[in-house]
């Protein structure tokens, strides 16, 4: 394979990509990377206020980036977003399910035991991460099934491989996302088209808006005890940077992985390989 063929593989010109939860740290970096390679990127997020570094980087790209207000837990909202995206771009080729997260009320602590975690908090975390992946896959995935071609990329987590302390609902939900990824890959290939692929990435520990002050001290910037424990169990000895996801994402979204479906790729600095000894 010569360099021109390789360059063509990673040319996303004319492709339309939907990224749910794309206004976050990780989703934003993926959006900019894909638009830089020519894709039209539709960010579907409850938060449509794009600020700071992401706002600056969204301009002067080969492709276009737009943001649409969308609640991934409401079918009507997803359908309205789908229609708006199709009206603007005319097609859909790739879905990235990046919406997800945890909440303090579903996290054990010295003041809140596992036995007292409220059901509504557990329900929210389980629903956001699992249903927030399944529902967009129904709404946007149907377009891919009808055209017999496309890619779905889910965002799982290291929690799916190695459950972490304190966050039972999030760990369980991400394990379910990995399982659903495999199920959907088989279902779409067998029932619709072998040209529809479904995979997932499983990020390790990245500093995001949600976990920054769980892993680092807000005042000093020093690692918390939990943050230090993570570094101690990550052979590469650091947190991931958002751009560390890009290589694996581009591979899974490109023809370079045309015979790859139903896998979950750890991007974790060796965390999942380390026994602690």
Q: Residue 53 above 80 pLDDT?
A: no
Give the mean model confidence (pLDDT) for residues 33-44: 96
Q: Which of 10, 89, 170, 192 is catalytic?
A: 170
- How is residue 205 annotated by DSSP? -
Give the mean model confidence (pLDDT) for residues 136-158: 97
pLDDT band with cut points at 50, 70 and 90 for residue 1 = low
Residue ranges of domains in the chain:
10-204+240-266
Give the mean model confidence (pLDDT) for residues 81-99: 97
DSSP E strands in 111-258: the ranges are 150-155, 196-203
170 φ/ψ sector (left φ>0, alpha ψ -120 to 50, else beta): alpha
212-262 per-position pLDDT tens digit: 767 787 788 888 888 888 899 999 999 998 899 999 999 999 999 999 999
Coil/strand/helix, residue 43: strand
Structure tokens at 194: 């072998």
**Given 3.40.50.10490, 3.40.50.1100, 3.40.50.720, 3.30.450.20, which CATH number is that of 10-204+240-266?**
3.40.50.720
Look up the pTM and report it.
0.94
What does the pLDDT read at residue 62? 87
Quickly list DSSP for 67-123: EEE--TT-HHHHHHHHHHHHHHHS---EEEE------GGGS-BTTB-GGG--HHHHH
- Residue 170 falls in the annotated catalytic set: yes
Best CA proximity match to 167, nearest among 107, 214, 126:
107
pLDDT band with cut points at 50, 70 and 90 for residue 86 = very high
150 φ/ψ sector (left φ>0, alpha ψ -120 to 50, else beta): left
Give the mean model confidence (pLDDT) for residues 65-94: 97
Q: Say what percent of the chain tops pLDDT 90.
A: 77
pLDDT band with cut points at 50, 70 and 90 for residue 174 = very high
Q: Residue 210 above 70 pLDDT?
A: no
93 φ/ψ sector (left φ>0, alpha ψ -120 to 50, else beta): alpha
Own/partner pairs, 71-80, CB within 8 angstroms, 24+ separation: 71/46, 72/20, 72/21, 72/44, 72/99, 72/128, 72/131, 72/132, 72/135, 72/136, 73/127, 73/128, 73/131, 73/132, 73/135, 75/135, 75/138, 75/139, 78/44, 78/135, 78/136, 78/139, 78/140, 79/139
């Amino acid at each position: 394979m010569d360099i021109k063929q390789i360059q063509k593989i990673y040319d996303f010109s004319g492709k339309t990509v939907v990224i749910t939860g794309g206004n976050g740290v990780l989703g934003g970096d993926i959006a900019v990377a894909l638009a830089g390679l020519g894709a039209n990127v539709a960010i579907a997020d409850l938060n449509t206020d794009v600020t700071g570094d992401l706002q600056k980087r969204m301009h002067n790209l080969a492709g276009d980036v737009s943001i649409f207000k969308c609640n991934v837990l409401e079918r009507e909202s997803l359908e309205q977003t789908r229609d708006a995206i199709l009206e603007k771009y005319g097609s859909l080729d790739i879905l990235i399910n990046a919406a997800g997260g945890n909440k303090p009320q579903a996290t054990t602590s010295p003041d809140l035991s596992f036995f007292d975690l409220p059901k509504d908090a557990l329900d929210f975390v389980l629903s956001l991460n699992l249903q927030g992946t399944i529902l967009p896959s129904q709404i946007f995935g149907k377009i891919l099934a009808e055209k017999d071609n496309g890619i779905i990329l889910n965002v799982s987590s290291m929690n799916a491989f190695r459950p972490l302390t304190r966050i039972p609902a999030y760990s369980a939900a991400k394990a379910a996302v990995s399982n659903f990824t495999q199920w959907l890959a088989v279902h779409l290939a067998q029932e619709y088209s072998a040209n529809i692929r479904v995979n997932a990435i499983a990020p390790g520990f990245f500093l995001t808006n949600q976990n920054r002050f769980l892993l680092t001290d807000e005042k000093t910037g020093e690692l918390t005890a939990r943050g230090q424990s993570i570094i101690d169990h990550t052979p590469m000895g650091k947190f991931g940077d958002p751009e560390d996801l890009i290589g694996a994402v581009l591979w899974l979204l490109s023809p370079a992985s045309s015979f790859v479906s139903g896998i979950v790729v750890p991007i974790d600095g060796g965390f999942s390989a380390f026994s602690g000894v």
